[in-house]
């Protein structure tokens, strides 16, 4: 993060997202400000609040993608939630604090997997020794009648047994590593947990209590082991996972996760316009209530989780919404104040669709070409075909609902349906898709407005 300047963040985002330069600049500045905050004197550090952002624009223009790529770029904990899932206390719905718990849970799991990868080599060695113990039980010393009378002879016999055992063990080790023993069966004690399923149906905050009940029952009920006959290859995998988990220091992982969430967490609040008032129709039951519940989380408060308290003061909140029927000013004033940066994203047209199809690292045409390459088909898209697809996407978006770049996915599936279906049986190794092919496949559906509403 310390190496990334705002201009470099924008360049990295450009590899995956076409256009929307204003939004990219805003998130790049917000991210760099986090690093700057870490460099200021400690007494001032806690006073600097993150500058939360509202991204305004129709669906499918890249709002979620900008936030998700941003978190991957900086290795920040990230979670996306729909604001419409939350409801005011007293109504059926999720507790607003659950988004912080979800973010921490994801981060703990991510860090635990990383720690397991670090200790993987050691876990493999321990698992190998345990497999060899199963394949070659330790020899019991034979009872020598003259043990007491002749201790020297007894010790010599024991040494001989140990040497033979060691040679056999090394021979088995080389066979195990070469995979010659993979089909052999061994008896393995596998732990299983007969835990009663406890579901908690109750008011706000009980989601967390449900988690704690499960933890409590798992600690009360002792782990039972069941002896199973498994192949050596499977036993090695089971033992490797078991040892990797045992080698990870979970207290360290949890502390790191809490610190990571508090200092660099990103929460993406989608559909925030759905909880704004001023729609003029429909019941306004709990919209303002949800906003007031969100307020302390966004302002900065302490949320209790099963891993311990988490402060939300420096979590970056990026909200987004189409704001077709309402405006950001329809949010309650206190919440507006916590989102000082507003960025309007541009609608996408034909030019942008052409670039989306061809330019990004994960370009849509490239995805289909690689998918069909697995069947031995080389698919080539002519320039006029790409122009035609982009033109039809723009036209259908204008005639029906504007769903932005997502329209391209629908068009590509319709366009390539026959090829995708017949690919395994096609003898022709090269397929060229030109403008005429696109027009023939999509013209009838596009021209029939009723049909295009359902299919495209």
Least confident of 142-146, 219-223, 360-364, 373-377: 142-146
Cα dist. 426→165, 250, 420 in Å? 59, 53, 10
Same domain, 124 and 229: yes
User: How large a percentage of the chain has pLDDT more than 70?
Assistant: 82
With 60 as the cut, is the pLDDT of residue 146 above it? no
Tell me the per-residue pLDDT of 368-408, one tens digit each, with 9 for 90 and over. 999 999 998 999 999 999 999 999 999 888 888 888 899 89
Same domain, 238 and 292: no
Same domain, 133 and 228: yes
Gap between the Cα atoms of 216 and 81, Å rounded: 28
Same domain, 175 and 201: yes
| Domain, as residue range, for 151 | 120-247
In a domain, residue 253? The reply is no
In a domain, residue 308? The reply is yes
Gap between the Cα atoms of 304 and 352, Å rounded: 45
pLDDT of residue 2: 55
Residue with tokens 């001032």, as numbered in its chain: 44
Residue with the bigger pLDDT between 406 and 451: it is 406
Same domain, 241 and 312: no
In the predicted model, what is the mean pLDDT of residues 243-248? 89
pLDDT classification of 24: cutoffs 50, 70, 90: very high
Same domain, 275 and 318: yes
Tell me the per-residue pLDDT of 412-440, one tens digit each, with 9 for 90 and over. 999 999 999 998 888 778 899 999 999 88
Are 103 and 76 in contact by the 8 Å Cβ rule? The answer is no
User: How large a percentage of the chain has pLDDT more than 90?
Assistant: 34
pLDDT of residue 343: 92
Tell me the per-residue pLDDT of 67-121, one tens digit each, with 9 for 90 and over. 888 888 888 899 998 887 886 555 555 788 889 999 999 999 999 999 999 998 8
pLDDT of residue 192: 65
pLDDT classification of 202: cutoffs 50, 70, 90: very low
Same domain, 84 and 171: no
Q: How many domains does the chain have?
A: 3
Single out the residue in 192, 218, 247 at which a domain terminates. 247
Distance of CA 94 to the CA centre of its chain: 20
Least confident of 167-171, 190-194, 206-210, 424-428: 206-210
In a domain, residue 36? The reply is yes
pLDDT of residue 318: 93
pLDDT of residue 225: 75
pLDDT classification of 157: cutoffs 50, 70, 90: low
With 50 as the cut, is the pLDDT of residue 328 above it? yes
Cα dist. 316→60, 184, 266, 341 in Å? 22, 54, 5, 12
Are 187 and 228 in contact by the 8 Å Cβ rule? The answer is yes
Same domain, 302 and 217: no
In a domain, residue 339? The reply is yes
Residues with Cβ within 8 Å of 345's Cβ and at least 6 positions away in sequence, in order, are: 20, 22, 23, 55, 56, 57, 61, 62, 63
Residue 258, judged by CB atoms within 10 A of its CB (0-12, 13-18, 19+), counts as buried
Residues with Cβ within 8 Å of 112's Cβ and at least 6 positions away in sequence, in order, are: 248, 250, 253
In a domain, residue 373? The reply is yes
Same domain, 366 and 294: no
Tell me the per-residue pLDDT of 27-82, one tens digit each, with 9 for 90 and over. 999 888 888 888 899 888 888 888 899 999 988 888 888 988 888 888 889 999 88
Same domain, 171 and 210: yes
Beta-bridge mates of residue 266: 78, 316
Single out the residue in 247, 273, 305 at which a domain terminates. 247
- Phi, psi (deg, nearest 5) at residue 320: -145, 155
In a domain, residue 456? The reply is no
Q: What is the CATH number of the domain that holds 94?
A: 3.40.50.300
pLDDT classification of 164: cutoffs 50, 70, 90: low
Same domain, 308 and 225: no
Same domain, 340 and 368: no
Single out the residue in 301, 321, 344 at which a domain terminates. 344
Gap between the Cα atoms of 223 and 149, Å rounded: 47
């Amino acid at each position: 993060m310390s190496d990334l300047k705002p201009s470099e963040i924008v360049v990295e985002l450009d590899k995956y997202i076409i256009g929307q330069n204003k939004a990219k600049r805003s998130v790049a500045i917000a991210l760099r400000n986090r690093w700057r905050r870490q460099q200021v004197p400690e007494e001032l550090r806690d006073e600097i609040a993150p500058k939360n952002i509202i991204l305004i624009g129709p669906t499918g223009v890249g709002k979620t993608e900008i936030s998700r790529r941003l978190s991957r770029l900086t290795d920040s904990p990230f979670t996306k939630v729909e604001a419409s899932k939350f409801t005011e206390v007293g109504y059926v719905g999720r507790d607003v604090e659950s988004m912080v718990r979800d973010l921490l849970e994801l981060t703990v799991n991510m860090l635990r997997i990383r720690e397991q990868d670090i200790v993987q080599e050691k876990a493999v060695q321990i698992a190998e020794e345990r497999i060899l113990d199963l394949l070659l039980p330790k020899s019991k010393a034979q009872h020598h009648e003259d043990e007491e009378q002749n201790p020297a002879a007894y010790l010599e016999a024991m040494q001989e047994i140990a040497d033979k055992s060691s040679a056999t063990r090394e021979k088995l080790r080389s066979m195990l590593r070469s995979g010659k023993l993979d089909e052999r069966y061994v008896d393995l004690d596998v732990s299983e947990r007969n835990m009663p399923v406890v579901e908690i149906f109750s008011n706000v905050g009980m989601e967390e209590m449900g988690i704690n009940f499960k933890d409590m029952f798992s600690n009360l009920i002792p782990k039972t082991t069941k002896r199973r006959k498994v192949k050596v290859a499977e036993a090695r995998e089971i033992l490797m996972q078991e040892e990797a988990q045992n080698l990870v220091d979970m207290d360290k992982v949890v502390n790191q996760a809490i610190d990571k969430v508090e200092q660099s967490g990103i929460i993406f609040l989608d559909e925030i316009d759905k909880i704004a008032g001023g729609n003029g129709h429909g019941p306004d039951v709990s919209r303002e209530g949800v906003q007031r519940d969100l307020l302390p989380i966004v302002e900065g408060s302490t949320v209790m989780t099963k891993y311990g308290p988490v402060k939300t003061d420096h979590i970056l909140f990026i909200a987004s919404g189409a704001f077709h029927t309402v405006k950001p000013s329809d949010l309650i004033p206190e919440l507006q104040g916590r989102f000082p940066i507003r960025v309007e994203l541009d609608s996408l047209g034909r030019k942008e669709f052409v670039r989306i199809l061809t330019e990004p690292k994960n370009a849509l045409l490239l995805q289909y070409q690689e998918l069909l390459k697995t069947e031995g088909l080389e698919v080539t898209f002519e320039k006029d075909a790409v122009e035609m697809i982009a033109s039809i996407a723009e036209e259908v978006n204008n005639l029906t609902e504007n769903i932005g770049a997502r329209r391209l996915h629908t068009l590509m599936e319709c366009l390539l349906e026959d090829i995708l279906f017949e690919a395994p049986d096609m003898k022709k190794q090269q397929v060229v898709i030109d403008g005429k092919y696109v027009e023939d496949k999509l013209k009838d559906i596009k021209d029939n407005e009723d049909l295009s509403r359902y299919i495209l």
